[in-house]
Structure 1
Amino acid sequence: MKRWKRTKSSYFSVLLRCFGAYTLFLVIAAIALLFWALMESSITVTSLSDRDLSEYNDILQAEQYDQFPVRTLLGKTGSIAATDNTGRILYGKFHEDIPPEALACIPLQGQYVYPTVTHWYDEQGRQLTLVASDGYSGIFHQTPVVLDADHKILYGSIPGVDTDVLSDEAYGYLTQTLPQGYYIWKYPFENADGQSRWLILYEQILRNEEYAHLDMIWSRTLLLFLGLYVLVLLAMALWLSRKVCGPLKRLEQGFTELAQQNDPEPIQCRGPREFEQICSAFNQLSAQLAESERQRKALEDNRQKLLADISHDLKTPITVIQGYAKAICDGLIPPEKLPDYLDTIYQKSNRLTGLIDTFHEYSKLEHPQFTLQTKRLDLCEVLREYLASKYNELELGGFVPEIEIPDEAIWCMLDKTAFLRVLENIVSNAIKHNPSGTALFFQLQCRNGQAVLTLADNGVGIPPELADRIFDPFVVGDESRNTRQGSGLGLAISHKIVTAHGGTIQLVQPPQPGYSTQFQVTLPLA
């Protein structure tokens, strides 16, 4: 009987631990949801001015533009292009060449650099525009430029621009109004050949839809947390109910089994301390039935042995195979071929009877009193006799045997019937799982004081997922390969028989060249 472990917790301590555990769970869940919301927000809200792009110089130098994190840095609709010093597009099939004057007007991207554009009217009513690049703490990174309504430069200068009047395109890039809905930046770099290049970055401007999306993210986060909070409360209530009701239900089940004259398992009460005495009393009552339980197990063992004997006695040969019998009854078989058909029916019935033999034999091998009836036999002669009895079946199935058996006798202590079962199991598997025309290889050698028998074929092979457990009971191959499946005990029986002979059987992995499946059986010489 399993020893009952007393628990020292009171019901109050159970409540305290439950509250602490679920509070911790809620805190962790809140942190996880907050992290998710921040990650989703970071995809929507980007600030390229605050990013240092030098960490991507290796990608740009190798001109691997597809690896540039466009979505992360520029938003869902952002994009990039690469140009040379003349503004010719080298990358970015959706972008057109940028004139040199317009390229010079694109503001440089840099950390904490924010372009500002201010419009006002002078005393004469002319519209003037001030463009400046303000950095952190108000440090100017570019000389301010003042332009009139015709885009003429009235004050300041733009590096790379030789004209006094800007084109509409250049003005649009300078004032960040072209393309609409985007900020545009340029970032200088050199490729692997040392040629100067510009990376043009199109950063989406946060629109009302994005603000609505952010609001939706945080609203959804709050709703998820509230829903999770309610679920946690329900889970805590259910857990507490189970904590209390569980021992009571186990006691009820135990008493019911006792009333039905069954032997229940000892109850391991892990609930509050108040239930310990009740559970202890029940376990003491259950302990009184231990002797009866041992007797029941003894009877169960006898029943298993009886079933094994009955399966042996009930091995009535199946004398009629439906297809051939139907053909004979319908008079479809010529008289001269009737003996062949009857012989085939007999052979097939023996194979079907072998299924019962298999379960019976495995049951015998599992029994502690099982022993082999060994004699000193010539393994070469045993193998020849088996192959001679199997030759017609192999020929009818279209299988080609390749046999290498030495002329000298190889003596081993064998239980002939059991060892023939090993051969039959392996060869039958090869026939079941391989197509007609497969070559079966039988090679017997005497090596290092042992008889080494190789049984192989060049068929479809054994799937790798089955190779490591091929000798386990009830392991069968993939039904998609072959529908003629056995009991899954053949190789397990073979392994037990060979081991009982003092030998070994293994699936050689990988098989030798020319083989798809290779079994190797070794037996001590007599």
Structure 2
Amino acid sequence: MSFFKKKSFIRTSVVHFTVFSVLILAVFLGFMLIYAYMLDIAFTDMDDVLKYKDDIISEHFSNIPIESFKKCSFIVFNDDNDVIYSSNESIKEDIRAVDLELIERYNSGYNYSITQYESGKYKNGFYVQKVKKIKDGTLQSTGYAILDNNLRVVEGNLFNKSSLSPYEFNLISGKFIDSEKNEFTVSKYEYVNKKGKRRVFVFINPTFKEEDYSNLEDKLLRFIPIPILLIIIIIFIQTMLFDRKIKKSIQPLNKAMLSYSKGEPQKIDKDEMPREFFYVVDTFEDLMNELEISEQEKEKANAERQRVIVDLSHDLKTPLTVIQGYAKALADHVVPEEKQEQYLQTLAVKANASASLMDTLFAYTRMEHPEYHLNLSEVDLHEWFRDYIYSKNEEISLKGFRVEKDIPDDIELAKIDLNLFPRALDNLLNNSLKYNVVGTKIYYSVNEKNDKITIIYADDGVGISEEVGERIFDAFVTTNEARTSGKGTGLGMSIAKRIIELHGGTIELDSLEGYKTVFKIQLKRIFTE
């Protein structure tokens, strides 16, 4: 699977989680095995000694490590009830051949069931029966006996004697009490040896008591801090290794970030990164590319701002120089009387030109401010446009230009600033009037499609060169390269573009058959029910 490739964060996580889980499981199982082993060696029964069944049948009794079974012993009888082997001498005196019938047979269907009477005629006496477990799991009685509180047989055919001794009663109860009052469990295993001889193997082991179990549990609980400590160590080591692995995985990204901060960008080798971080790397590289582009644009904007300052200084210098020179000449009375009127008119023209330039620049800079807002009104753009063209008819006619328009009669709503939006159109018209000859045709059209309203302004005049067209909306760009010609500040198109953008629209140069200069304006369309 692709998730488990060499460089994969998921693979790393899965491996560490698996190793961690296996180690924790190993600690848990190890503790449980130790716990089970200690229980096993602390409480021995016939099952433990029958692990050496082959030695028992072959009568290699010395091979049975009875010393490893704490406080346990065994004795073996033959067909004649003679002892053929005993693990110690004392057991020969404790277990008698005549009492073998009273000892419960291990792993057989027969055993003694003893119930004590709590009241009645045989109060504190016992009801003893020998039961056999049949195939369906139920118990079947094969004989019974009632014993009084002195263990005398008062009824039943289970025993062929009139009473039982405490020793014999303990045997049928599966118990054996030694001389020190220690209680043991006793059971017998009957088998046939390799020579076909019948044998009885009697095993004695300490009785399993709840008190002994509790004591052993208390001992084991003392070791609980060990696995807990091991788990804490495993968690710490795994955390350190995982943290180191992750840091190493993302180190190439960190290096790249540092390199960018130092201005020495480095390419990130994706082969050294986990595949899950590819998206982060791509995003980071895209961000760095965008920052680089943004930096370039910033540098370009700074250069443009510097150019604006230079151009503004240039445009102001000429009229101010004229004003300064003419004013000084008038003040020094060196201008002949017949030329003073001409000088004063020139001063007025130059002063008006300077004021117009400053007004235009103020409007341009004011609209560039991020907190500048329009005063929008909802209008029927078709009707408004027809009114606007009508208001310009006289000005266009005086210049010897013609107008052609294509504006539908239906209602089309748009939101515009009634003071600012006309200025954008005025700037387009003024450019045509300034730079074209008599007889030029001006064309207006408005149409709608989807959620856009498209306004076309065009003329069939001299047109705009490709070089100027690429920078037509930059500040201080005119169609006449001689900026001192007085034919414009070069801010008109920049202001027009800014006005359209403030309205949420766009303006661009376009093409239209029969026309040299074509501007396409697109605004948002307002839909009403």
Which one has a bigger Cα radius of gyration?
2
Return the structure number with greater relative CO, CA threshold 8 A, min gap 6.
1
Q: TM-score range by the shorter chain?
A: 0.3 to 0.5
Q: TM-score, normalised by structure 2?
A: 0.38
